[in-house]
Amino acid sequence: MFLKKLLFKNKTQDIAPESGEGSVLIKGDELKLLVDKVFGRSLFVRLVDSGSCNACETELAALSNPYYDLERFGIKFVASPKHADILMVTGCLTRNMLNPLLKTYENIPSPKFVITVGDCAETGGPFKDSYSVCGPVSKYLNAAVHVKGCPPEPKAVISAFLKLMDILKSGKQEKLPD
């Protein structure tokens, strides 16, 4: 009964009735067009948390809720780096996470791109002076796009994907990382 009620009551459009400039749907449709074009209809992302406070992860997980539903635009978070096109990194990069991060990066087949998410990934945030932090991520990996915010809101992450597509489409990405 409950399932039936849910099935017929709440449609995504009802829960997320957003429209207008910058709304998830408009951004998403644009994104889908680009993902179709640049990545042949599927863009796979592998996330590594290198030492965040878990707010960034909560927001990235929120991208799958009915308000954003990122997968409808062709973007999917995958389990294995071997499947991924993009390495997404959150957190200040702790010493203990350096090796797992680099190993994950190595295991992503080329061409591959890095997106850093959140202020900690950019500067180390409030943790940058700690003895056990060896970041920021940029010391070791070149990020194609960075998403600002502490944590960035889900919409900002969608915009970052758009930005990456734009860079790739226009061929502005000067040197592809090996």
Q: Does 140 help bind other proteins (rule: CB under 8 A)?
A: no
* Dihedral of alpha carbons 73, 79, 81, 82, sign: negative
> For residues 78-117, which are near other proteins according to CB under 8 A?
79-81, 91-92, 94-100, 104
Return the residue of 28, 34, 43, 52 that touches other proteins, per CB under 8 A. Answer: 52
Q: Does 123 help bind other proteins (rule: CB under 8 A)?
A: no
Stretches 1-9, 26-34, 136-144, 162-170: which one binds other proteins (CB under 8 A)? 1-9
Return the residue of 10, 13, 19, 142 that touches other proteins, per CB under 8 A. Answer: 10
Total residues at interface with other proteins (CB under 8 A): 53
d(CA 169, CA 52): 31
Instruction: Give me the residue label for tokens 């406070």.
Output: 53
Q: Given the rule CB under 8 A, which residues bind other proteins? A: 2-3, 5-7, 10, 15, 47-62, 64-67, 77, 79-81, 91-92, 94-100, 104, 125-127, 129-134, 150-151, 153
